[in-house]
Structure 1
Amino acid sequence: MRWTIVTLTDDTLKIKDEEGELITLKKDATSEPDIDITLLYNTWISETQDIYTFNNDGNGTYKAKEETSANDITYEYDEANKQLTLHRVNGKVVRWTILSLTNDTLKVKDNDGQELTLTVYTNTAWIELLYGKWGFLGKPSIEFTNKEGNRLCTVYEGEEAPYTVAFKYDAYNRIYFFENESWSGGFWQVKQVTQDILSIDVFSSDGENLTKESSMTLFRIPEPDELVVGDESLLYGDEWTSFSYDDGSPITLQFRQNFSDVIWTEGGDKMTFNYTYNSDSHELVFTVDGETEAFKIIKLTDHVMYLAIYENGVLADGMEFRKL
């Protein structure tokens, strides 16, 4: 059977069959798929390389291809008309009619009747570094895993620890968590992630206001994490770096063998004080203004150092340093 297309519009198809009879077909409106608007809450990239992020609270961001940073936007969705209205900071309003929306593809028709296709945008360079266990002194605080596409974060600290939640991420290195049956309005902003450290700012949201709650920097826990203490000579050379528990700011120290002292830098202040090290017991003692503070080195390699504080034979506190 052969048909000749006479006309074709959005909702009507007119054809002629082999006998010349004209047949008119109408699109079945009931066949249009429902739009699950929760799938919109993601970061999308257009065919022209513009990037849009839609949060679940009516806020988001827009970054044009030629721009180096993103601008805030707000948006609302008209479910009855499947219309998405975007408000940019310059006052420009963009209206899209959503044609289809899946986990990875968004098809819309813009103000001018042009059809656009956007796909989920992921910058995987940093996310691949995220997976693994992070903490201090070999004790995990959080762990990120990806098992067959199921991205999970396990928290090992706190009253409910350990517990596991799903997470997702966007093009701006932000991590969102699925808690209480919804994607939380707040997020973790990943400032830096490497083979050694993970630095994060924690933001909360009440739907209207975004508040920075805290900052933290964690160390990647090696697999396996063997507690070996190498030769004293490993102390010397490059600076050792740690981070404040309070705000994630860096702390550095450098051992000077010839002077038997340490240069300690924290919060912009540089201090120099003496130290002694017992290579048999691995005890490291700092002397500051006549006061002493004793640590035990429980791990020392050319790259990693654990300084532990014991009370009644139990690990009570300590610091971890890396040569970064």
Structure 2
Amino acid sequence: MIQRQENLKTPVQYLKGVGPTLSLRLDKMQIKTVADLLWHIPHRYTDRRNIQPIQKIIPGVFQTIIGSVVGGAPKRLGARKKIYEILIKDETGLALLIFFHFKEDYLQKKYPVGKKLLVHGLCQTFRSQFQFVHPDIEELDEEGKHLSHPILPVYPLTEGLHQKTMRKIIGNALEKFLPFLEETPLAVHKTMQVKLSLKEALYALHHPRENASIEELNEHETIWHQRMAYDELFYLQLGLQMRKSILKENANPLMQSSPIYEKALHLLPFKLTRSQEVALGEIIQDLQKNIPMNRLLEGDVGSGKT
């Protein structure tokens, strides 16, 4: 069991696809270990199941289309700035994919003429032309089928980190380290209303099922979210109970007759109020017990708490 937990404490730098540079970016989000990465839950999801013909695209909303590459080339915007445009088509029309940050050789090799693509992103129009700026692109197989899941997780990111990179490294972490995840004790698991293992819930949150409700996913109301919430609450309650048990452990009593206590009272430049005397008396009683004191002293500003 200890060895299994140690595996989850592996520094994220040593995970396939990470390395020193990327680990520094992950560190900005407090992702230091494999466990931190596994618990980096998506904050929303992208639904690519509703595929539209290009002719029926609605500008100003996120759309999913499928088209074949007609061609791609760089285009100048003024004297210094360049963009890269990829023109795709389906049976109903044409659309442009626009890239402001690009490597020309990479895009030409990645998306050759005739390549079939699934494109998802915010659709805009410019000079009566449908455009997608830096969309999510997935290459389709010869039959036009998805090569990955139609529902994609969207993760919180930091500067220099991209969704595709995060999805890839989390996928690597799930594949290699998910088997090492310790489940909630069986006795506790039997009391759950959601009969689902932690491994199943964690995997499904990173890779939602094809029939999952996008509304429930984005509202964090799925059974997978409920399972994770149960685990969080269970260990919070367990921690509180452990803290209570520690507070019941034996402690050395402090006696009221201490000369330091008497001297401190005489050095005060004022006489204690009745409320101060009561509060001080209750504190002294606690200090005389053989268990640690667990008390909160409450009072308005200037009421003499110090």
- TM-score normalised to the size of structure 2? 0.27
Q: Which has the higher strand share?
A: 1
If asked which structure has higher relative contact order (CA below 8 Å, sep 6+), I would say 2
Radius of gyration: which is bigger? 2
